[in-house]
Structure 1
Amino acid sequence: MAEFGRYLRLERDLSPHTVRAYLGDVNSLLDHLGGRIEVLEIGVLREWLAGQHAAGKARATLARRTACARTFTAYCHRRGWLANDPGLLLGSAKAGRELPAVLDQRQAEAVLGVASAGEPKELRDQAMLELLYATGVRVSELCALDVDDVDRERNVIRVLGKGRKERVVPFGAPALRALDRWCIHGRPLWVRERTGPALFLGVRGGRIDAGTVRRVVHARVAQVDGAPDMGPHGLRHSAATHLLEGGADLRSVQELLGHASLNTTQIYTHVSIERLRAAYRQAHPRA
């Protein structure tokens, strides 16, 4: 397990969250094997996954565990712990793709237009919300931003995304104004010796964590009547949907969001179509 964990971190360059999930999946598989890796073959893998399905695991979880099993068996085969790689015979379990909840443009304006005082926390929260909606970045990408990642002359931020792939994402004037207010009037009051270059800080001066950002987003969205409950990923969904509704092409949205595959981005076209259908049914006399 220790060697497999090092392989995932150093050679596959997976995120800490994915490494933890994969190691948990392998522990579950090894428990099913009774710790006897030599009995690992395709029938046992299918039996393990069938047990997960019977236990009511979500399709997304089953898809991840299938991918993990294939990665693990390939690793064991390369190390000589298995004579053959049974994962090659394992079919792909596809996660279900539910349409994400999104804000409409009026609700998005209301979320960002909530009046706030000039306290550091309010300045920080407003800057984070503006940037999340303006750029569609992931919450982990937002938390990892440093002060120097913001280019105020070109109105872009430099983001290090999944797989350590760097991309440049533009943002608009409202986000720039909110960032300037935070950086000039808020952030200096929270800076400590150990703060470092982090753009967004917690109240104790350290880099902000994803849990805090999620609480901020949930609380702000809850203040808007009729808005669906959502976290940072909901703002990402909303930004992508509004870009497409405004005429942006799919390839540009893919690049902005940092999706490796265009198929991932295409879900937002379905969101836009569903919203169009809903508006049609409500407004057309012969719908």
Structure 2
Amino acid sequence: MPPGAPLLPDETARAFLLERFQDFLSLESGAASNTREAYARDLARFASFALTVGARGPADLDARQLRNYVYHLKDLGLSPASIRRGVSAIRTYYRFLLSEGHVVRDPSERLETPRGWRSLPEVLTVEEVERLLAAPSLDDPFVFRDRAMLELAYGAGLRVSEWIGLAVRDLLLEDLLVRVFGKGGKERLVPIGGKAVGAVAMYLRELRPRLEKGRGRGILFLNARGEPLTRMGAWKVLRKHVERAGIEKTVTPHTLRHSFATHLLEGGADLRAVQEMLGHADISTTQIYTHVDREYLRSVHRQYHPRS
């Protein structure tokens, strides 16, 4: 076994056909020696993980467990490049097993590499969010609209298309809820807090009636012409208040959504509850936020633990 690979019992290596896979790499696929060694380490680590989840061989693992294994690699602190190679090793391994008739299905077909983890927007701290929400000034003629918009965007974790598309009738303020129509028109109810309710109620009372000129089509957030706020208009509003709050991070509307999810998980929220609020069809999409959360925990550990 190459240096750095987990030591596996002989019966485990046999059960996972690791030597046969090495022969395949060397004799049939013509892989370079460095690739063979790296894949040997990756597959030994994979087999070791498989044992911990009760798998006795590669046929016992399904797509969900493979996805959990990729998250496990992330938690080990491996670089994205190393994780991508590990995923490539697993895909090659299962193609080999399938071609040799050792498995009847390939659970790695849709296994994703962690590109998305690197492209996640920066997450705002709670203190930065507080500064952003306090940024709209009473000197601004649109202060009530902007406060309501920012409170809702962060308070409900909405996509930009969702917060500019909200209709007045979608507000269930007495129940502390908003009705949201997400991707594919899928409807969900999202809870909001008292501060968001107060900001929206103030906007509805003090400003929106003056903006409405018969062209609002029932949409909640309107521009100076009384028309529904566009995506670009929402970006400009957000950018203005990010600058006013003195936040130096790159902040997009999606940053508020990421911050919403991350702060909930940091506070101990259940992953499935966060999935429901975000409107994710698949919980694996929501699970990326657990890694943002774990990165935060690691950074706290590195900063404050005396032996980090």
Q: Which amino acid aligns with 1:222?
A: E
1:265 maps to a residue whose letter is T
In structure 2, what is the Cα distance between the partners aligned to 1:274 and 1:138? 23
Q: Partner of 2:102 in structure 1?
A: none
Q: Within 1, Cα distance between the matches of 2:162 and 2:200?
A: 16
Cross-structure match for 1:182:
203
- Residue 121 of structure 2 corresponds to which residue in structure 1? 100
Structure 1: distance between partners of 2:297 and 2:135 = 27
Matched, 1:139 2:160: yes
Alignment-derived partner of residue 277 in structure 2: 256
The 1-side partners of 2:123 and 2:165 are apart by 24
Give 5+ residue unaligned stretches, structure 1. Answer: 1-90
* C-alpha separation in 2, matches of 1:113 and 1:208: 21
Contact 2:215 2:227 in 1 (8 A): yes
Match of 1:8 in 2: none
Aligned residues: 197
Q: Work out whether 1:110 is the aligned partner of 2:149.
A: no
Distance 2:305 2:154 in 1: 31
How far has the Cα of 1:215 moved from its partner?
A: 1.5
**Deviation at 1:148?**
0.8
- Partner of 2:301 in structure 1? 280
2:121–2:254 Cα contact (<8 Å) kept:
no
CA drift at 1:92: 6.6
CA, structure 1 residues 226+151, in 2 after alignment: closer, same or farther (shift >3 Å)? closer
| TM-score w.r.t. length of structure 1 | 0.65
Instruction: Decide whether the 8 Å contact of 1:119 with 1:186 is kept in 2.
Output: no
Q: Does the CA-based 8 Å contact 1:215-1:231 persist in structure 2?
A: no
Aligned-pair distance for 1:135?
Answer: 0.2
Distance in 2, Cα, partners of 1:158 & 1:118: 31
Change (3 A) 1:167 1:121: same
RMSD of equivalent CA atoms: 1.8
Provide, for residues 108-158 of structure 1, a one-character-per-residue CA deviation record: whole Å limited to 9, x for no partner. Answer: 111112251165411111110000010001110111111110011101010
Name the SS of the counterpart of 1:140 in structure 2.
Answer: helix
Could you tell me the TM-score, scaled by structure 2's length? 0.61
Q: What is the alpha-carbon distance in structure 1 between the residues aligned to residue 235 and residue 157 of structure 2?
A: 14
Percentage identity across paired residues of the two chains: 45
Structure 2 gap ranges (5+): 1-108
Q: Paired residue for 1:43?
A: none
Question: Bigger radius of gyration, 1 or 2?
Answer: 2
Shift of 1:193: 2.1
Asked if 1:125 corresponds to 2:146, the answer is yes
Counterpart selection for 1:245 from 266, 273, 277: 266
**Hey, what's the Cα distance between the residues in 2 that align with 1:93 and 1:140?**
29
2:123 aligned partner, one-letter code: V
